[in-house]
Amino acid sequence: MISVEEALTTILARFHPLEAERVPLREAWGRVLAADVVAREAIPPFDNSAMDGYAVRLADCIGATEANPVVLRVLGEAPAGKASGFDVVPGTAVRIMTGAPIPAGADAVVMREETREAPDRVEILVEPEPAEHIRRLGEDVPRGSTVFEAGELLNPAALGVLASIGVAEVDVIRRPRVALLATGDELVPVEAPLAPGQIHDSTGPALEALLTRLGAVPVPLGTARDEIEDLRAKIAEGARHDLLITTGGVSVGDHDLVKVVLGELGEMAFWKVNMQPGKPLAFGAVGDTPVLGLPGNPVSSLVAFELFVRPAVRRMQGHARVQRPRLTVRLSHLLEKRMERRQFVRAWVHVEDGAYQACSTGPQGSHVLTSVARGNALLDLPPGAHRFEAGTLVQAILLEEGEAYAGRHPDR
């Protein structure tokens, strides 16, 4: 039996970032940059006012106070959105709006609240600092500077930065296309009624959603029967994608033929990974396409997805960090482990009094998908120990985004 870490290391060695593609800015969110971005425009693109107020000459305003204001003649108004034609000569000021270009001759802005206004003139009530309330050309991003580097993740604010320097299209790592193949004579799609002995393919829609959430493109291939011919055809079709994920048929049953066909079509290793759920795992390649054969039990396949598929997909997407963050959490009740193996327990992690607490989401059988659906984390219980008392600190893998940890479990 190999460890989770050994399996992951072997898997990741086979994955590399995919090629670049050029996409419109709006489609670049969450993607990884394939090339450095050099700013062809500066941010800000010109000196402009940070306040509504008056553009003035410092030299005119020395010693200005409320009791002893400086009186300046107002030349006119400088709104945002057009070049200023004014020249602020000694003794004058320009009424200026936030974002408007600083007129020639001015070297500070006095905010409106620090003035008294009268027709055609203004009283300045404070002495401004040099360049006060002026946003300097290139102060955030100088022209010609590298604003983002290849390998960086584009978050929403990064799209804003790119928009502000006029980048309408960006080179990012393309999305991986991941084929999904369920196997099993008992499986029918969710739309079809069940004949005796049949079950719906439950893993397919779940894996599809996980891939979509990850930013990959799922390509569902439906279900293959437990027959060599059908498996061969569908696996060959799956191998035309960036990754093929199969579910089921990798265990020791008489009809577990996936490993037979994978071995025949490509190079394949079959592992028993020291974990529960999700022990059997196939990994290899058909042609250039890596293949991950996940176990059939729905929970096992979802846990194997989290531990092995997700990091592999993130590697193809060009992410530097491929693994989810782990957190130390406190058990809110006793957990007992039946097996010797390392166990990943479906749990609800939430913040209580500023600290993370975890409770189990219920029965942990490999077929009990509801306890995955009701959870937001996996607790990583090491092999060996069997009892984990309330209050014990354990490692949790967080599966959801921030808000999912904000409160108590809705059912508890």
Tokens of 377: 């984390």
247, interface contact from ligand AMP, Mg ion, none, CB < 5-8 Å by kind: ligand AMP
Return the one option of ligand AMP, Mg ion, none that residue 44 interacts with (CB less than 5 to 8 A, by type).
none
Nearer to Mg ion, 223 or 376 (CB): 223
Least Å distance, CB 176 to ligand AMP, is 21
Tokens of 217: 């493109």
Q: Which is closer to ligand AMP, CB of 251 or CB of 274?
A: 251
The region of 8-16, 112-120, 296-304, 309-317 touching ligand AMP under the rule CB under 6 A is 296-304
Please name the residues in contact with 342: beta carbons below 8 A apart, sequence gap of 6 or more.
3, 4, 274, 275, 276, 380, 381, 382, 383
Dist CA 264 CA 276 (whole Å): 28
Can you tell me which residue has the tokens 């079809």?
192
Check: CB of residue 262 under 8 Å from CB of residue 286.
yes
List binders of Mg ion among 174-193 (CB under 5 A): 184
Which residues inside 230-289 make contact with Mg ion, applying CB under 5 A?
A: 248-249
Q: In the chain, what is the greatest distance between 2 CA atoms, to the nearest angstrom?
A: 97
Token pair listed for 178 = 């991941």
By CB under 6 A, tell whether 248 contacts ligand AMP: yes
Nearest to 99 by CA among 56, 160, 50, 53: 50
Q: Which is nearer to Mg ion, 128 or 249 (CB)?
A: 249
Contact call for residues 270 and 282 (beta carbons, < 8 A): yes
Interface with ligand AMP (CB under 6 A), residue total 19
| Contact status: 37 vs ligand AMP (CB under 6 A) | no
Piece in contact with ligand AMP (CB under 6 A), picked from 66-74, 140-148, 246-254, 305-313 = 246-254
What one-character DSSP code corresponds to residue 113? G
Compare residues 301 and 317 and give the one whose CB is closer to ligand AMP.
301
Sole window of 41-49, 236-244, 250-258, 284-292 interacting with ligand AMP (rule: CB under 6 A): 250-258
Please report the sign of the dihedral spanned by the C-alpha atoms of residue 104, residue 108, residue 111, residue 117.
negative
Q: Which of 61, 182, 307, 329 binds ligand AMP (CB under 6 A)?
A: 182
Q: Name the phi and psi angles at 311, rounded to 5.
A: -60, -40
Residue with tokens 């009740």: 333
Taking CB under 6 A as the criterion, the residue among 44, 176, 184, 218 binding ligand AMP is: 184
Which stretches of the chain bind ligand AMP, using CB under 6 A? 182, 184, 186-187, 199, 201-204, 247-249, 251, 253, 256, 295-298
**Residues at the site binding Mg ion, with contacts judged by CB under 5 A:** 184, 248-249, 296
